[in-house]
Structures are given as structure tokens and as C-alpha cells.
């Protein structure tokens, strides 16, 4: 869970930082076209951003930071928080992502497992065996803990074919595989979109 | 390039167990070893790397072995049974080679399937 949160946070921060950096770089480039105190000069950019007023606003706060007092305490807490967020971001960036496997059996002697992609391919092969199925798509999600997982199979069929019959036939085909891997199966039938490839 | 003297090179127990596992995979019908997309699933050995076998030794000399396999579909037996057969086979081979006490956990991962359809 912590890894998911930190990974998501790291992606969001990376997106925001790169976007702001790009915008800032573009602004500096545009405001470097002219020199002196012209409109498109760096002093002009400082005027647009109101840096003089900003200095007046935060100047007293910055002075307070230099001495003891409530502002220094707040700044220390904010600094500690920034360090923690930084560590979380580092964890999100550097933590290795490990693909979960569909565990078939696990004991002290080791684990027997299958990769979701392999299970999906097998389920797809089985799901396409009924004659009225044009094409099948499978998605396997292993359980976070313990054996088994979930298999979602979509069977594409012709518009003229009975959807319930297709679903039932497909379910029968994958039942044995699902039971041997302790998978919960969800089968649905669909008619392919007009013009979509079916094989 | 190898010669007769190379084949006499002493190898660690870890590599010897990895080779036993590699031989077992080669002798088992319906499965093949895979090194994975990044080529990580192999044991580096003096003469020839053992594909599809990851052997890791702990501080007590116990070697845990992972087998990474492509299974031919449909399999001849349920995957659990196939995995159990491979684990049992490796334990028997290790015992026969006098390394049974060093063999730790044996894990089997079916990483891909190989069927008659193109792309499988």
C-alpha cells in the first residue's frame, strides 16, 4: 500500500515539476528577448510577477526565521515534513516493482505459481474454442495474499449468436483451468464494434 | 569454447544444483526453460549459464532454487501436478548427487505458455 501511494505521489510530483519547469523555462526564454527595462526583459518579468511586493510581504517572515520564535518552529516542522515527503518520493521512484504471480500452491518447500500473462493466454486459447466465439480477451488478477485470483474473460461473438449460449460455452471451457488455479471466473459476451478486428 | 580440462573445473554446490535443475527441465517433456524478457532468470556458471534456473545460497549453505518455465499448452497434466513432479524430481536428483541436505525451497514459475496458435 505504501509503495502504491509513494509511486503515485512520485508520478504526480514528477508531472507537476516537469510542467512547471517547462512553463518557467518558456517564460524566461520569452522575457529574455529584449534587454534593459523593456517589456520582454527579465526585469519586466520580475515586475509582472510582482517580486517587489512579494519581498515586502514575506521579508518580515524571513527575518523572523533567522531568530527564535514561533515562525522558526513552524519552519523546522515544515522542513522535517519536506524531508519525510522526499524520502517517500525516493521510495516511490526507487522501490522495485515486482509482478504478482497467481500462486497455485505454496508451502515450506517452495511455491508453484504462474505468471498472469501465461494464465491469460491459456484462458484465451480455451475461450476461443467454442465455434460461436470469434475472439476472446482475458485479464488475470492474482490475489494479493494466498493462492488464486480473478479471471475476466470477454468472448466476442456474432450479433446473430445468442450471448447467453456463448457465455455458458466459454465458461465451461475455462472451468477446469480456473479450478486448477483457484481462479474466480467472470465471463461476458460482447459483439465486436463495427469494423473492429476479430482475430 | 570448452575442452576436457574445463569440464573438470570444480563448481560450487549452488551451481551444481542449478545444473541439476537445468538438466531436469531439459528432460521433462512439455516444458522449456526461459530466461525472461530481461534475461535475469539464469544462473551464471563457469562454462555455460544455466537458463531458466535461479539458484541462491543463504548464509547456512542452503540453496533455494527457482525454475522459470514455458509450458506447452495444453499441458499433459494439471500445472500443480507438473510443478510437484518437477520439485520432487529435483529433490531426488539432489539426493542422488549427495546434495539433498543443501537443497532448500524449490519454486516453480510458469512464466509463459507455448501453443499451436501463433503468438502463444
> Which ipTM value was assigned to this complex?
0.84
Q: HSE on the CB side for A4, CA within 13 Å?
A: 1
Burial of B82 (0-12, 13-18, 19+ CB in 10 A): buried
> Using the beta-carbon criterion (under 8 Å), do B79 and A104 form an inter-chain contact?
yes
* Among A109, A114, A125, beta carbon nearest to B79: A114
Residues 38-77 of B with CB under 8 A from A: 64-65, 71, 73
If one compares A127 and A36, the residue with the highest pLDDT of the two is: A127
Looking at chain A, list the stretches that DSSP marks H as alpha helix, in order from N- to C-terminal side: 2-30, 42-49, 51-66, 70-94, 116-127, 163-180
Could you give the percent of chain A with pLDDT greater than 90?
27
Q: Best mutation site among A105, A106, A108, A114 for testing chain B: the one with the most B CBs within 10 Å?
A: A114
Each residue's pLDDT tens digit, B27-45: 999 999 999 888 889 999 8
Burial of B27 (0-12, 13-18, 19+ CB in 10 A): exposed
Report pLDDT for B119.
Answer: 38
- The Cα of A124 is separated from the nearest Cα of chain B by a number of Å equal to 10
- Examine the pLDDT at A116 and tell me if it is beyond 90: yes
Give the DSSP H or E segment for B96.
Answer: helix B79-96
Residue whose C-alpha cell reads 516444458 in the numeric block: B31
Each residue's pLDDT tens digit, A142-195: 998 889 999 999 999 988 888 899 899 999 989 888 988 889 999 999 888 776
A111 vs B contacts (CB less than 8 Å): 105, 107-109
Residue A99, chain B, CB below 8 Å: the answer is no
Distance from chain centroid for Cα B49? 11
Report pLDDT for B1.
Answer: 40
Cα distance from N-terminal residue to C-terminal residue, chain A: 38
Residue A118, chain B, CB below 8 Å: the answer is yes
Residue A101, chain B, CB below 8 Å: the answer is yes
Amino acid at each position: 500500500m505504501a509503495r502504491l501511494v509513494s509511486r503515485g505521489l512520485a508520478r504526480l510530483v514528477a508531472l507537476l515539476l516537469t510542467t512547471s519547469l517547462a512553463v518557467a523555462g518558456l517564460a524566461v526564454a520569452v522575457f529574455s528577448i529584449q534587454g534593459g527595462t523593456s517589456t520582454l526583459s527579465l526585469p519586466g518579468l520580475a515586475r509582472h510577477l510582482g517580486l517587489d511586493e512579494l519581498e515586502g510581504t514575506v521579508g518580515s517572515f524571513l527575518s523572523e526565521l533567522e531568530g527564535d520564535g514561533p515562525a522558526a518552529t513552524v519552519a523546522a516542522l515544515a522542513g522535517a515534513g519536506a524531508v519525510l515527503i522526499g524520502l517517500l518520493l525516493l521510495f516511490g521512484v526507487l522501490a522495485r516493482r515486482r509482478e504478482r504471480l497467481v500462486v497455485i500452491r505454496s508451502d515450506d518447500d517452495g511455491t508453484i505459481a504462474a505468471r498472469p500473462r501465461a494464465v491469460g493466454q491459456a484462458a484465451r486459447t480455451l475461450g476461443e474454442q467454442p465455434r460461436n466465439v470469434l475472439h476472446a480477451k482475458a485479464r488475470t488478477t492474482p490475489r494479493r495474499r494466498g493462492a488464486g485470483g480473478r479471471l475476466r474473460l470477454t468472448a466476442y461473438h456474432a450479433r446473430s449468436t445468442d450471448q447467453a449460449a456463448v457465455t455458458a460455452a466459454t465458461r465451461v471451457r475455462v472451468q477446469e483451468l480456473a479450478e486448477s488455479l483457484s481462479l474466480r471466473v467472470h465471463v461476458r459476451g460482447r459483439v465486436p464494434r463495427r469494423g473492429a478486428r476479430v482475430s | 569454447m570448452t575442452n576436457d580440462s574445463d569440464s573438470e573445473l570444480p563448481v560450487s554446490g549452488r551451481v551444481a544444483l542449478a545444473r541439476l535443475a537445468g538438466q531436469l527441465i531439459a528432460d521433462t517433456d512439455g516444458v522449456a526453460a526461459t530466461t525472461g524478457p530481461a534475461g535475469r532468470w539464469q544462473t551464471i556458471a563457469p562454462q555455460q549459464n544455466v537458463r531458466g534456473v535461479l539458484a541462491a545460497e543463504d548464509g547456512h549453505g542452503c540453496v533455494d532454487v527457482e525454475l522459470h518455465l514455458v509450458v506447452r499448452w495444453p499441458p499433459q497434466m494439471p500445472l500443480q501436478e507438473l510443478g510437484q513432479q518437477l520439485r520432487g524430481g529435483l529433490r531426488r536428483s539432489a539426493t542422488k548427487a549427495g546434495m539433498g541436505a543443501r537443497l532448500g525451497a524449490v519454486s516453480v514459475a510458469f512464466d509463459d505458455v507455448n501453443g499451436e496458435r501463433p503468438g502463444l
